[in-house]
Structures are given as structure tokens and as C-alpha cells.
Amino acid sequence: MLHFKSWKKTAGILAVALSVSYGAAFAAPSDTVDERLDQYAAYIAERKDKDFGYPINHDIQLAGFYQWLVDSGSYAAMVNNAGDPFHPHGEIMNTLNFEREVIEFFGPLYGFDTNDLWGLVTFSGTDGNNHGIYFGAKYLEKKTGKKPVLYVSDAAHYSNMRLADLQNLDMVLVPADVHGCMIPAELEKALKPGRPALMVYAMGTTFKGGVDNQDALNAVLAKHPDIVVYRHVDAALFGGYLPYTDFRDAVNRKVHPFDSIAVSGHKFFGMDEPAGIFLTTMEVKENQNPYNVSYLDGSMPMINCSRSALSPLKLWYIIKRVGLEGFTEQANGMLERAAWLKEQLDEMGWPAWLEPMSNTVYFKRPAEAIAKKYDLAPDHDDKLGGDLSHIVVMQHVTKERLQNFLDDLAEAK
Ligand SMILES: Cc1ncc(COP(=O)(O)O)c(C=O)c1O
């Protein structure tokens, strides 16, 4: 039998051995929970102000929300938005009413009439694209009795390609030009007569911020009236801020017709975890497989059963606290600073590009130490001279921080 002292020693040796073989997953005895959390906090504090390379808003305004969540005791409940926000039920505790308000706030900004609007708060931009592609494919199959072909540019986000694969759809990758925009003449060559077309338009490609020219692409499609078309817009980042700028029409379906749109919640809006919104029309929703579920009191056209109840609540809080005025100020500030950064790089003679409507400045890749310091994602384009990086000018990417980057670049040059 082990005495307490020798048991403690054995346990200590065991813990050390385990932490050596399995890394940080097994905490050593001295590694307390608080210490680990403090290490995490230090990591965040060190990284976040210089995190320029990804489309993420670190200017999070949710402190008041979390204060309320704890003070009110609401944190101590498992709440679940399984169900339809446009047909709320009382079966499981949920925030479906808040979720519907979120969708109804955004609907008119993308040209949806509130009496012909359906949507939900998603887990991410990818989840929104999953819904757009799934709803589009099912809608077209129902209307035509044929499986569609999905067309997407080769500069679009890879989630669209992954999802076409996942949903077992025939996909055509249409070449994009050097700005990241689908080439209309290439779409024309690629169109498959006799099959419906599921178009995925990229409104802001991830690396270059290219925006597909919907008018030019629609003109190609209009030459083939026999092809039934569904248009899904992947506007993960740009869809967040464009409605509050002079470029608002680019994501307005009354100006450029589309059937559904997906936007990330953690990019422009300042969610602190992955989330998004998916919006479509009632007509599209009503042409889905309904899967009526009695215990959720209605049809379940969405892909997921359990869904976050906290995300819609946080998005609702952000909308109420920041509002149209705040979003307008943030969106235009980002575009101004992006234009300013491009000007500064031009003055330095550092090759740089900025597409119209974009907050993403891409440029010749700097020395590795600078790329690492500012977490600059890599890319490569022979047509633009080789290795590239970009800065996504989000809310936390202030002029002062950009100036630090420019100083580092000038010094290294
Ligand atoms: C254009 C585009 N679409 C889709 C996505 C995927 O969005 P999420 O990361 O929210 O799943 C991204 C992510 O960066 C993106 O840039």
C-alpha cells in the first residue's frame, strides 16, 4: 500500500511523464488553471494589436454583454436555438425572437423586403455558404428536375469548393483575373447548356478583395434564357461593411438580383467567436425539404438542429449598441485607412494594390520578421512579381498601428 507522501511523489512523476508525452493537454501539478488562463491572456494581449493579416475585428464591444450575462444569472442555463426563427416555438429555451430581429435588421440592408425574408444566424461564413449552396441546389432541382452545376471563381474562398464537394455537386472553377474577379468570357465558355446554374458570386475574395462583376456575369447568363439560375453571394467580409458605404448597391439585391447571401459575424461586426448570417427569400425557403419536426413545432429547412442561442443574442446586442451610425463610422474609417495605407506604400515605392470597395491592401511580401510580427498571411502571384502579403484594415487596425508597420518596413528596406 502507498503512503500519502510516496503516493504524491508517484502522482507527480506520473503527471510530469504524461505532460512530457502528451504536451500541454495534461497539466503538471504546478500548472494551475489560473496560471494557464493568465498565460492565455498574455498571449492575447501580445498578439491582438498587431494582428493585421486576417479579416477579424478585434475591437470587441461585448464587455457590457458579459457583465449582464453574469450579473443576471442568465449564464447559468443551456439555451438552444434549434428551430426556425421565423416560426418561434416554446419547446426548448431559446433566443429565436432575438434571432429573427437580427435577420430583420439586416434584411433591408441587402434589399430584402421584410415580408419576403427568411434567414438565420449561422455558425460562420462557411455555414452561410453551406446553406446558400444547399438551398440553391435544392431550389433548382425542384424547379427543373435537374441537378445544377455550381460555378465559382478560382479566386473565391475554398469553403465554396469544399461545400460543392461535400454536397456532391458538379463544380466548374471559372478562372479569375489578376484582381481576383471571375472572368465573364471564361464563364461563357464554361456554361453547360441544359443544366441549371448555381452561381456563387464572391463579394470580396479573401486575399485580394476582388469583387465579381455581377452585371457582366449576369449579362453572360442572360444570353442563355434556357438556363435556370440561382445566385448565392459569398460576402463574408465585404457584406458586413458595404451596406454603410457609397458601395451599398453592390450587395443590394434590388440593384443586383441574388437569391441568398452569407456574411460572417466575426469579421466586420465584432463578434468574439465564429458566427454569421444567412438571408434568403420566403420563396427559396418554401422550396426546400421542410422536414416537419413536431417537437420543434414546425419545419426545419436549416441544416443544423441545435444552434447557438448566445450568438444571436450577442449580435442583437451589437446592433443595439453600435447601430447604423456606428457601423457607418467604422466602415468608412476602414476604407479611408486602407486608401491611406496604399498611398503610403506607393510613396515608399513598395508595390501595392487595392481593389475598388476593398479594405484589403495587398503588396509585395516584406521580410519574414515583419510578416511574422504582423501576422501577415502569404500568397503568391507570378503576374504581380511573386510573393505577396496583405493587410486587412479592420476596426482595430488604426493609423498609429499602421504607421508602426510602415516604419518597420522602411527600416528593413
Ligand atoms: C470570402 C470568404 N468567404 C468565406 C469565408 C469563410 O468564412 P468563415 O471563416 O466565417 O467560415 C471567408 C473567410 O475568410 C472568406 O474570406
List, for residues 352-389, the tens digit of each pLDDT value. Answer: 999 999 999 999 999 999 999 999 999 999 999 999 99
Q: Please work out whether the CB of residue 153 comes within 6 Å of at least one atom of ligand 1.
A: no
- 111/2 same-domain check: no
Q: Say if CB 212 and CB 153 are below 8 A apart.
A: yes
Is 228 part of any domain?
yes
Cα gap 34→23, rounded to integer Å: 18
- 223/299 same-domain check: yes
What is the best residue among 264, 278, 304, 394 to mutate for testing ligand 1's pocket, by most ligand atoms within 8 Å of CB? 264
- 236/384 same-domain check: no
Q: Please work out whether the CB of residue 182 comes within 6 Å of at least one atom of ligand 1.
A: no
pLDDT at 92 over 80: yes
Cα gap 387→32, rounded to integer Å: 43
- 235/359 same-domain check: no
Distance of CA 192 to the CA centre of its chain: 30
- 366/280 same-domain check: no
pLDDT at 29 over 90: no
Q: If you measure from the C-alpha of residue 236 to the centroid of ligand 1, how many angstroms do you get, rounded to a whole number?
A: 5
User: Domain containing 395 — which CATH number?
Assistant: 3.90.1150.10
Atom number of ligand 1 nearest to Cα 234: 3
pLDDT at 308 over 50: yes
Q: Please work out whether the CB of residue 314 comes within 6 Å of at least one atom of ligand 1.
A: no
Q: Which domain does 1 fall in, by range?
A: 1-31
Is 78 part of any domain?
no
Is 48 part of any domain?
no
Is 91 part of any domain?
no
Looking at the 3D structure of the chain, how many domains does it have? Answer: 3
Radius of gyration of the chain (CA): 24
- 244/372 same-domain check: no
pLDDT band for position 30 (cuts 50, 70, 90): low
Place of cell 443576471: 72
pLDDT at 21 over 70: no
Q: What is the maximal distance between C-alpha atoms in the chain? A: 86
- 134/225 same-domain check: yes
Cβ neighbours around 246 below 10 Å, total: 10
Angle between helices 310-348 and 96-106 (to 10 degrees): 40
- 343/312 same-domain check: no
E-state strands within 239-312: 260-264, 276-280, 292-293, 298-299
Distances (CA, A) of 409 to 159, 216, 344, 369: 33, 39, 11, 10
- Encode burial over 116-148: b for 16+ CB neighbours within 10 A, e otherwise: ebbbbbbbbbbbbbbbbbbbbbbbbeeeeeeeb
Q: What is the pTM of this model?
A: 0.91
Q: Please work out whether the CB of residue 274 comes within 6 Å of at least one atom of ligand 1.
A: yes
Q: Please work out whether the CB of residue 130 comes within 6 Å of at least one atom of ligand 1.
A: no
Long-range Cβ contacts of 217-226 (<8 Å, 24+ apart): 217/182, 217/184, 217/187, 218/256, 218/257, 219/184, 220/184, 220/187, 220/188, 220/191, 221/187, 221/191, 221/197, 223/188, 224/191, 224/193, 226/193, 226/194
Q: If you measure from the C-alpha of residue 266 to the centroid of ligand 1, how many angstroms do you get, rounded to a whole number?
A: 10
- 278/203 same-domain check: yes
Is 143 part of any domain?
yes
Distances (CA, A) of 323 to 92, 211, 246, 398: 30, 26, 18, 21
Show Cβ contacts of residue 78 under 8 Å, excluding neighbours closer than 6 positions.
Answer: 93
Helix (H, G, I), strand (E, B) or coil at 195: coil
- 131/193 same-domain check: yes
- 274/381 same-domain check: no
List, for residues 159-201, the tens digit of each pLDDT value. Answer: 999 999 999 999 999 999 999 999 999 999 999 999 999 999 9
- 133/268 same-domain check: yes
Q: Can you give the pLDDT at residue 292?
A: 82
Q: Can you give the pLDDT at residue 237?
A: 98
Q: Please work out whether the CB of residue 212 comes within 6 Å of at least one atom of ligand 1.
A: no
Q: Can you give the pLDDT at residue 91?
A: 79
